[in-house]
Chain A
């Protein structure tokens, strides 16, 4: 048995293995949906993720979205590395302490050098944030 926060499935894999992700984490990877077309990640909102108004800090939500989309860009491109070039986030609704926040990432298009992605953060069926962004596949200068 692996110890997981309430609401995180037992079979979820740890997705935050080092660096800033580990510092703000733990972040988890959940099972794909729609035959792999939707990649999913999750974290449980803890005290250190909050703002002064009792909601999850926007910086934490954007960090989680960035990590979810970055990881997806690497999973689908088999690239050694990818880098965020642009990300736009709409803050649709707040999240609270203890909420299990899930990301659902879709690939819009992949070219040789670029991946276009979209992402939704949800708590249950409630949408918290929507985002779209552009990732560069490393080692493809031009």
Chain B
């Protein structure tokens, strides 16, 4: 765990378990459980040759944050992504902070519907709608 950047005062580092998430992280959060809001700082590793965040990184960030919310929604049962719909509305550039507060649209016994608008400042730059399967539930 490293120090939280000054521009993210009030945030703490999210505990990440997956090797790939630690590889691209860190991720920061504020608030508790399903109310958690996440922040991600775009650095040199995450951008393409034009200095804009890679679409794959945005979808990874979506999978990471929706996954945290899915976990919160089902008391840390095992969940897997079934489907992710992504819209790339604008880019985010090196050094910018991308923030999201996931929304649980619906929970059935075995499926979670989660969506999120990813913001840089006041602007939506990316939006996702995702489906998650709660394992062990038919």
Task: Identify the A interface with B (CB < 8 A).
Answer: 18-21, 23-24, 47-53, 56-60, 62-64, 66-67, 70, 81, 83-91, 94
Contact = CB atoms under 8 A, between A and B. Distances in A.
Contacts of A64: 56
B47 A86 contact: no
- Residue from B48, B56, B59 whose CB has the most chain A CB atoms within 10 Å: B56
Contacts of B86: 62, 84, 86-89
Contacts of B61: 59
Contact of B23 (A48, A58, A66): A48
Interface residues of B, number: 34
Interface in B53-104: 53-57, 59-64, 78, 80-88
13 contacts: A20-B53, A21-B56, A23-B45, A50-B18, A53-B78, A58-B81, A58-B84, A59-B59, A62-B86, A64-B56, A87-B55, A87-B59, A91-B83
A89 B83 contact: yes
A47 B19 contact: yes
